[in-house]
Amino acid sequence: MIEIFVDGDACPVKDEVYAVAARLDLAVVVVANQRINVPRDLGVEMVVVAEGPDAADDWIAEQIREGDVVVTADIPLAARCLAVGAFALGTNGREFTPDSIGNALATRDIKAGVRESGLSTGGPPPITARDRSRFSNELDRIANRSIRSIRR
């Protein structure tokens, strides 16, 4: 059975994850550095990891298996998950794929260099209702694709 792992510290679409998972009867594991309220009645598991910038990412990367789905805005974590055959979906509703991850990593590195030089790159734009809808639809599509691949 596949699981959906959520990089939970700053994930703005947890409610959408819970709704899709409940509809498809999938397990959800939310991983964060501190306790987050999760809906226990839906069987959502909350994992609190040690403090540290990559502790949640490391835990997810160690647990995820082929066919699982990770929801994260962290591009290096997405790359690690893709390497084991898992699916990776950004909180903006865009799927990370083996074909797109290289460009995403390169863009991330360029932006990090710009920030280090002292220029402000701003943060991500606020999430909109349209973004939430796109995310839900994409998570549903990816989860169903994963379910079909496991049944083969």
pLDDT reported for residue 112: 63
pTM score: 0.85
Dig out the tokens for 121 from the structure. 């790159």
Give yes or no for residue 43 having a pLDDT over 90.
Answer: no
Maximum CA extent, the chain: 51
How many domains are there within the chain? 1
Angstrom distance (rounded) from CA 49 to CA 59: 8
Give yes or no for residue 151 having a pLDDT over 70.
Answer: no
Please report which confidence band the pLDDT of residue 116 belongs to, taking 50, 70 and 90 as the band edges: confident
Query: The CATH number of the domain where 83 resides is what?
Result: 3.40.50
Q: What are phi and psi of 67, to 5 degrees?
A: 90, -20
Are the CB atoms for 90 and 70 separated by under 8 Å?
Answer: no
Please report which confidence band the pLDDT of residue 121 belongs to, taking 50, 70 and 90 as the band edges: low
- Residue 31: domain span: 3-151
